[in-house]
Chains A and B, each alone.
Chain A
């Protein structure tokens, strides 16, 4: 099963293969945990606090 992608903030300039453009420091990019680990380990990205992809839906929205 594919792991859910999360948002990460660029610390250095990234060259995105899928988006075919540069991601500049401060901009965000969606990455799988495996891809993110390589980039986190080398200090290229960091996790985004309050990532909407990982926030739990509000109770009211669940009922909808």
Chain B
């Protein structure tokens, strides 16, 4: 089989954040560095019988997902990821939605979107005087699902 020519890097990824239930989306590609997804494992169990040599395998539900966005800390706009994330973290009820499109977000590209997510960890700037790095912040989100879709007009 020939080798694919369609692999992608993260260089053109479009990352967007919404703090109003998806009515408006803020393009945070100019702030964000990475998106990582953890959790979501499906419960799987095994049961051994006396007769069998291999287990009976059964499966159940999927666990919640933890999505982490690493972004740069800025204080310039009210809708910067840090401000949006901190506001959602400090509220017991507010949620955010995150969506990202590895190919760039044009018509026909895939898009991955979280369901309503809680910001579950503090979103405060941290650093040390002996570092010249830009200050990062991390938005740790927990949500029930991520929907894969194809972008249309």
Contacts and interface: CB of A to CB of B under 8 A. Distances in A.
Q: Which of A20, A23, A38 has most B Cβ within 10 Å?
A: A38
Contacts of B148: 13
Contacts of A39: 107-108, 150, 152
Interface residues of A, number: 20
A12 B153 contact: no
A44 B152 contact: yes
A42 B110 CA distance: 11
Q: Which label, helix, strand, loop or mixed, suits the secondary structure of the B interface?
A: strand
B4 to A, nearest CB: 16
19 contacts: A12-B149, A13-B147, A14-B150, A14-B151, A14-B152, A15-B111, A15-B113, A15-B150, A16-B152, A16-B153, A18-B153, A20-B23, A22-B147, A22-B149, A31-B152, A31-B153, A32-B153, A39-B108, A42-B108
Interface of A: 12-18, 20-23, 29, 31-32, 35, 38-39, 42, 44-45
Given A13-B147, A23-B152, 14 more contacts: A14-B150, A15-B111, A18-B153, A20-B22, A21-B22, A22-B147, A22-B149, A32-B153, A35-B152, A39-B150, A39-B152, A44-B150, A44-B152, A45-B152
